[in-house]
Structure 1
């Protein structure tokens, strides 16, 4: 488990990422996409857990253009607000390019033919959807993704499997937006939606006040089965 440096694909310079490697040859690789709190302890723990399952896991610092290296605690009100402020300043298109750079770097660390997926949370869930539409990710998962209703125009570009976990009582994703997600994606042959009634945004965080253990364990078990099927 270590920090490494990745090369950008848009001539914007190199940037940091957290790398967790399994013992032996990786079964595949997964790029872990941060929330609005940076590559913090929770995201690093997500990577470590994936490595324990045999995957190479890589979490790029997507806030590197505006707050490189930042790590925030969502249970601290001032840090939650800082994360929201960073979200408002964040260039999502540039973020997807950095995810693509991380996917390329992960492929280079795998045996020939190795597959790479992505998994993201909150902002990262939205970016996982965007990655499914804009990159060559072999399988993508988004947890409580925000604002998917205004990305439905990109659904035709989703060529590989995508799973989205939807918190039924999400303070950042209204019932109307959830309904639009179902209306727009339920019939897409590559997309699977799972609803978690009564759960709030952030229910699958690794620790802290937002975590809802039963829902988190169910969602994570579905994610692991999905990656096992589509990545190996």
Structure 2
């Protein structure tokens, strides 16, 4: 399994990122941001997919400060609970710094080409924060949690951001979705897509949560968005 070691920006250590390379010269780079289940088989499959589309792709191990190499299966109740516990222990500000370090690494590895990010669940929230706090060229978040608490940062979003919202998300209630629309619908850089009747995790690569039609629609929109803004 290919990986790259990345030094943290604060000098506190280093972490691994799964690496997937395209055939030939990369058209750009993509950073895939994990769910609360670590860089597991599904996240690595996301990376392999983007590499097949011509992008150099990295997925950083964001839980390395807690425990390196965590891989969980959300279909196993005990592992789902562990993921939720890890979410509570995770330092999101340091996570964003690690994503920024990964963006820099990806940009270097891709020959200074543009870098996009895409994240899921916790990673969707971090994709929003990445759009607001870093120089990522384009960002996409799937079923991002707690965005209503981050709307005060929307002025920092300078590059395109797309958010895929599950209409019946058990972790993102209707009132939170309403606040997202109220705060972001008129933002010139933000695009929201709602998938009615879908629940959290609908675009996972494997497992019980996947909803095939909605996943394919969301991923096709993401692919077009990256093609437009990365190349």
Give me the whole-angstrom Cα distance separating, in 2, the residues matched to 1:111 and 1:85: 38
Aligned to 1:25: 25
Structure 1 residue runs of 5 or longer lacking an equivalent are none
| Per-residue deviation, residues 140-164 of structure 1 (Å, max 9, x unmatched) | 0000000000000000000000000
Q: What is the aligned residue count?
A: 231
In structure 2, what is the Cα distance between the partners aligned to 1:161 and 1:210? 28
**Runs of 4 or more off by more than 4 Å in structure 1?**
none
Question: Partners of 2:128 and 2:101 in 1: how far apart?
Answer: 16
| Structure 2 Cα separation of the partners of residues 212 and 62 of structure 1 | 26
> What residue is the counterpart of 1:139 in the other structure?
138
SS in 2 for 1:225: helix
Aligned counterpart, 2:56: 56
**Aligned counterparts of 2:111 and 2:99: Cα–Cα separation in 1:** 20
Report deviation, 1:128.
0.1
How far residue 67 of structure 1 moved from its aligned partner, in angstroms, is 1.8
Q: Deviations over 1:80-103 (max 9, x none)?
A: 000000000000000000000000
Aligned counterpart, 2:68: 68
Give the deviation of 1:111 after TM superposition. Answer: 2.2
* Residue 13 in structure 1 maps to residue 13 in structure 2: yes
Query: In the alignment, which residue of structure 1 is the partner of 2:149?
Result: 150
Corresponding position of 1:126: 125
- Residue by residue over 1:156-208, the C-alpha shift from the partner in whole angstroms, topping out at 9 and shown as x without a partner, is 00000000000000000000000000000000000000000000000000010
Matched ranges for 1:1-232 at <5 A: 2-112=2-112, 114-232=113-231
Residues of 2 paired with 1:67 and 1:171: CA distance?
A: 27
User: How far apart in 1 are the matches of 2:125 and 2:230?
Assistant: 21
Q: What is the TM-score normalised by the length of structure 2?
A: 0.99
Q: CA deviation at 1:12?
A: 1.4
Counterpart CA distance in 1 for 2:107 and 2:165 is: 29
Deviation digits for residues 99-156 of structure 1, max 9, x if unmatched? 00000000111224x1001000000000000000000000000000000000000000
Matches of 1:67 and 1:146, distance apart in 2 = 23
1:57 Cα deviation from its structure 2 partner: 0.6
What root-mean-square deviation, in Å, do the aligned CA atoms of Structure 1 and Structure 2 show?
0.6
